Amino acid sequence: MKHIEVAAAVIIRDNKVFAAQRGEGGELARKWEFPGGKLEPGECGEDAIVREILEELGTEIKVLRFLLSVEHRYKTFSLTLHGYLCEIVTQEPTLNEHLASKWLGKDELDSVSWAAADLPIVEAIHALLE
């Protein structure tokens, strides 16, 4: 089974977290996620997430701290997902690859259909949001 290592940005602003909806392709089609992507060979998670967010959302972020790592097995692949608490440095995110995005408050976190690997991060965010 194919295994990938990915980094995800947990961007919190004004007591809300940024969530993005995946595109139509693959096993995770239309699921909501914390944006990010695959680590390149030899790349650390912090560098990967800054690069991926610039590519996917056209905005620069600053990594504040590591949150947690999640191991998850889907039907067709497994992954290690590293979540990082981040803040936006430049302009608002622009969707280059995602179908939609939302800023979700604590009481709205369960209003979207999250990718399964992101669920432990959602639980951790409950403690971060007031």
> CATH number for the domain including 118?
3.90.79.10
Beta bridge partners of 86: 11, 63
Which portions of the chain are predicted below pLDDT 50?
none
Question: Residue 109: its pLDDT value, please?
Answer: 96
Mean pLDDT, all residues of the chain = 95
For the record, the structure tokens of 32 come out as 């909501």
Question: Residue 60: its pLDDT value, please?
Answer: 96
Residue 16's identity, in one-letter code, is K
Q: Using one digit for the tens of pLDDT, what is the confidence trace for 47-80?
A: 999 999 999 999 999 999 999 999 999 999 999 9
**Exposure on the CB side of residue 109, measured as CA atoms within 13 A:** 22
User: What residue numbers bound the domain in which 51 lies?
Assistant: 2-128
Question: Residue 3: its pLDDT value, please?
Answer: 96
For the record, the structure tokens of 103 come out as 């800023």
Domain count for the chain:
1
